[in-house]
Structure 1
Amino acid sequence: MISTMTGVALDSALGSVSPSTLLLGLLVAGALICLLAGGGTVWGCHHPPSTPPLPCLPSLPVLGSLLSLRGDQPLHLRLRELGHRYGPLYALYLGPHYTVVVNSYQHAREVLLQRGKEFAGRPKMVTTELLTRGGKDIAFSDYTPLWKIHRRLVHNSFTLFGEGSSRLQDIEAVEALCCDLQASRGQAVDPGPPLMRAVTNVVCTLVFSSTYQPGDPELTSVMEYNDGIVQTIANGGLVDIYPWLRFFPNQTLTRLRDCINIRDTLLNKKLEEHKVSLSVGEPRDLLDALLQGGQGSRLEEEGICEDHVLMTAAEAFGAGVETTSTTLLWVLAFLLHHPQVQGRVQRELDEVVGCGRSPNVSDRAHLPYLDSVINEVMRIRPVSPVLIPHIALTTSSIGGHSVRKGTRVLVNMWAIHHDPDHWDTPQDFRPERFLDNEGRRITPSCFMPFGAGPRVCVGESLARLELFLFVSGLLQRFSFSPAPGVSLPDLQGRLGVVLQPLRYSLTVTPRPSWGVGGRGGEAAGRI
């Protein structure tokens, strides 16, 4: 959702507002230009006295530095390019909002870890306030005592699906996905739709114990409202930079509200069903766990309410579906470009798992190369190349520069994951960089695909397990190759809510060794 929060470029932001709002903006901009032509003044960057001032992009009244972000480059590349001119730490204005941009691991470590609590705030924005019922989620809510209680509740609920649990393993989504892919019968297939259906089904099962067949109206509704929210957020807009624009006609906000209403109708229905059937004992799913964990006068007195439960469930879809399915698309895209990597993963699977059963969670510890492939994909194409903006909750400092309370901070994870000071040939796809000389896992400290510190993604462990089960299951059963007569996937991608590859096609070939006995044989038989 970074594009709407930062105004990826002025052109895309202007394109998302209504004609009347656009006209108003142009009139304001025109008046400012005339004013500037007469006065010739440009805003400077404010900084506390007697501290080294940060390099700052040119800034105009009202517009701030938005004109410096214009161009064909996506935001993360533009911010990194500006870093070559202004240094790894610099400032700009997103409209009226003074913002510090972090392009290096050294400074990101200060913001996320060393002074993590000082920079743990979140800005209030129109779209996220709508999405989260005024900040009753985890990702976009401000850092408060109530948020810490809520996060602890969510973290405890997510332990249901951790390393020691078979709940994620028992979901049949991988087998269902295999059926979808096998149905292509050697013809070129776009992996996007079946991956999206499979991941959505996983989240539905984890959140409210519903598993759907393809074409089920409720599954279709979930996918449509989630996609609608994603698309409206991806279109971006000036409303998060200039909140007063929400009082003018805005088609993007109207569609966003419509999608949220559909989402909330479904989630309210599921919540009421769970409240009726809730019982003491092992929770069936995330809604059960949240309801059980949220019961009791203490939590109610602290301010935890049903809205927090609903927004946590909503966030599982908003954050879990798009990011996981997109990462899987990137994995397949890079494997098409690097068939030798695909072959090595399959050999590792054959040696560790064999073909008589499906991979399970406990196999992950014995499949370091497969894990390194997933890590390298998350490094080279982070789905969130710029982290959700942080806010300084107190006057602090970054790199020896004072940063005032209320300052926004953007951490450019793309720049950190492609920094040649920390990564040898960072533009190259090399899973081996996550292994030592003996083939054991290593995790460089500058690898932070889920963020770090107090605002690290609460669903990181679950997401990693989900990625492992999908990738291992697919590569155990199939080989993937470029579709005949079709170009290899473009690896640059496009930035919307997440950084995703352009649509591509591939050919799916069942591996000859798959389907001999055990659970694997049963799954192959259904295919």
Structure 2
Amino acid sequence: MDVLTLSLCSFMLFYVITIVWRTQKTRLRLPPGPTPLPIIGNLLQVSFALYKCYLKLSKQYGPVFTVWLGSKPVVALCGYTVIKEALINYAHQFSARGFLPISERLAGGYGIITTNGERWQQVRRFAVSTLRNFGMGKRSMEERVQEESRHLIKAIEDIGGKVHNPHTVLGRAVNNVVNLVGFGRRWDYDDMKYISIINNLFNFLRRPLGVAYVAFDSLMKHLPGPHQKVFADCEHVKSFIREEIESHRRSLDPESPRDFIDCFLIQADKEKDVRNSEFCMENLLISVLELFFAGTETTSITLQYSLLVMIKHPKVQERIQEEIDSVIGMDRLPSIADRSNMPYTNAVIHEILRYMELVPMALPHKVTEDVTFRGFIIPKGTTVFPLLASALSDPQYLKWPYEFNPQNFLDENGKFCSQEALIPFSAGKRICPGEGLARMEIFLFLTALLQKFSFHPANTTDTFNLDVLRRAIRKEGLSFNLRANPRMKKMHGHTR
């Protein structure tokens, strides 16, 4: 063995020993968990089905445990009681955002999702306020969703009862609501510009390549591969948003803001002399980008899954339609005011949000200081993953935690009753700022569709396993075919 080889082997041995020593030193302060291997940590144990593996580890190590993604320790929180205690009771210590390599590359430290401190507070406060002023939970936004419902119904009518995949039309409908909020305009249903980029980004996040990027971002960002095209496509979206911002700037009327971009530009002008103002163009660009991406995919897939539930449980579909006929009729579109008079429909939608577990793991949090939590010391800067799906199926709070059953949200008298553990949009200070808009869209779009159509499988022999499909969503999204048959108005037991 020559001197160079010996030196290289000695260096590698010293490097591995150093990593092992540092890891063991850190492990002594953290909650228990499986023993990590040098460099790769617990990646072999957790594989790429992260939530399923985490759930299994919680049964072995308890509701608070540690895994290592590469050389990075992650503390997982399992069960609603533990998640609530951390995100609400210890909100100050657990409210920082953990490192998100993919979002960080896209956002560069701007916007809402990846930021912390004063920047996060200013931009989030503005976003929530603006969405509310533009109607989140108010009539103006409701009218926008209702108007898009008309376009969606027309698009399905044009299909003419033929077999089709609802992914395209639902994706465009939901995206158009975001477009109206962000850009003040909508796109036609035959214009699928940028929708494919959204789909490709989220497919990347779901698949093993996305997990590998999170674990080894410092290496992966330099390697060639399909992930580089995903990021390049996202840059095209950012270029489009920049053009929209410049167009808005040229036609801006400070007395009559049209959308989110206008409101931000007006606020930026007001604070142009404020020393620590965060109303800069990069924060506007990334905030709109985050709204564009996050506001489309999750709501669209929830609506698709809702139609799957209708196909799988035709009695549920019929009962919702009976409630629609009784409360709304056929001559006007559903409104948010109808929701309080439709307990069964409301219960079904809440059960869909619970059962599908669309986001089984919240985006990573980070502790802001050394904190003693449930008898363990979690050092400052440690990444924390709340396992939201463990709350959504927590048997301490639900009668039927492991099956689809709208009775989870109905009392003995058939009245709607909320459940504390329903936190599909997370909880605490980092709860999704678009929760109100998403809930509005799901109710208005779904009831409008069921008012006009009955949904059936593409073939009478098709069967759907909702549990298998919800797991498939996490890996590859959702794709299926169906038929939408027009409904006829019912009066006094007869159809006309």
TM-score, normalised with respect to structure 2: 0.88
Establish whether residue 484 from structure 1 lines up as the match of residue 459 from structure 2. Answer: yes
Distance change (3 Å), C-alpha of 1:439 and 1:494: closer
Letter of the 2:269 partner, please give it.
Answer: Q
Establish whether residue 410 from structure 1 lines up as the match of residue 385 from structure 2. Answer: yes
1:283-309 Cα offsets, whole Å, 9 max, x none, are 222222222233322666323211111
In the TM superposition, residue 458 of structure 1 has moved relative to its aligned partner by: 0.5
1:369-400 Cα offsets, whole Å, 9 max, x none, are 22221111111112111000111111113322
Specify the alignment match of 2:469 in structure 1: 493
Higher mean alpha-carbon deviation, 250-259 vs 470-479, is at 250-259
Letter of the 1:154 partner, please give it.
Answer: A
Contact 2:357 2:470 in 1 (8 A): no
Letter of the 2:40 partner, please give it.
Answer: L
- 1:284-303 matches, within 5 Å, as 284-297=258-271, 301-303=276-278
Specify the alignment match of 2:489 in structure 1: 513
Higher mean alpha-carbon deviation, 225-234 vs 256-265, is at 225-234
Uncovered stretches (5+) of structure 2, i.e. residues with no partner? 1-7, 492-496
Q: Which one of the candidate residues 181, 189, 197 is aligned to 1:225?
A: 197
Establish whether residue 140 from structure 1 lines up as the match of residue 114 from structure 2. Answer: yes
2:184 & 2:358 partners in 1: Cα distance? 27
Specify the alignment match of 2:374 in structure 1: 399
1:110-140 Cα offsets, whole Å, 9 max, x none, are 22111112111223343212211x2212122
Distance change (3 Å), C-alpha of 1:466 and 1:498: farther
Distance change (3 Å), C-alpha of 1:374 and 1:354: same
1:306-365 Cα offsets, whole Å, 9 max, x none, are 111111111112111100000001111112111111111111111111111111232223
> How many residues were matched structurally?
473
1:36-72 Cα offsets, whole Å, 9 max, x none, are 9xxx9996473566xxx6221121111111111127x
Contact 1:43 1:60 in 2 (8 A): no
Distance change (3 Å), C-alpha of 1:497 and 1:303: farther
Letter of the 1:440 partner, please give it.
Answer: K
In the TM superposition, residue 437 of structure 1 has moved relative to its aligned partner by: 3.0
Establish whether residue 100 from structure 1 lines up as the match of residue 75 from structure 2. Answer: yes
Contact 1:352 1:366 in 2 (8 A): yes
Higher mean alpha-carbon deviation, 495-504 vs 415-424, is at 495-504
2:71 & 2:62 partners in 1: Cα distance? 22
Contact 2:203 2:476 in 1 (8 A): no
Distance change (3 Å), C-alpha of 1:490 and 1:193: farther
Establish whether residue 451 from structure 1 lines up as the match of residue 426 from structure 2. Answer: yes
Specify the alignment match of 1:150 in structure 2: 123
In the TM superposition, residue 422 of structure 1 has moved relative to its aligned partner by: 2.1
Report the 3-state secondary structure (helix = DSSP H, G, I; strand = E; otherwise coil) of the residue aligned with 2:484. strand
1:273 & 1:407 partners in 2: Cα distance? 42
Contact 2:31 2:378 in 1 (8 A): no
Establish whether residue 263 from structure 1 lines up as the match of residue 240 from structure 2. Answer: no
What do you get for the CA RMSD once the two structures are aligned? 2.7
Letter of the 2:26 partner, please give it.
Answer: H
Specify the alignment match of 2:39 in structure 1: 62
In the TM superposition, residue 509 of structure 1 has moved relative to its aligned partner by: 1.2
Letter of the 2:252 partner, please give it.
Answer: L
Contact 1:177 1:195 in 2 (8 A): yes
Report the 3-state secondary structure (helix = DSSP H, G, I; strand = E; otherwise coil) of the residue aligned with 1:166. helix
Report the 3-state secondary structure (helix = DSSP H, G, I; strand = E; otherwise coil) of the residue aligned with 2:139. coil
Establish whether residue 254 from structure 1 lines up as the match of residue 228 from structure 2. Answer: yes
1:188-219 Cα offsets, whole Å, 9 max, x none, are 22111111121122211221122222333xxx
Distance change (3 Å), C-alpha of 1:440 and 1:306: farther
1:175 & 1:398 partners in 2: Cα distance? 50
Higher mean alpha-carbon deviation, 419-428 vs 270-279, is at 419-428
2:474 & 2:221 partners in 1: Cα distance? 28
Uncovered stretches (5+) of structure 1, i.e. residues with no partner? 1-26, 516-527
1:479 & 1:114 partners in 2: Cα distance? 45
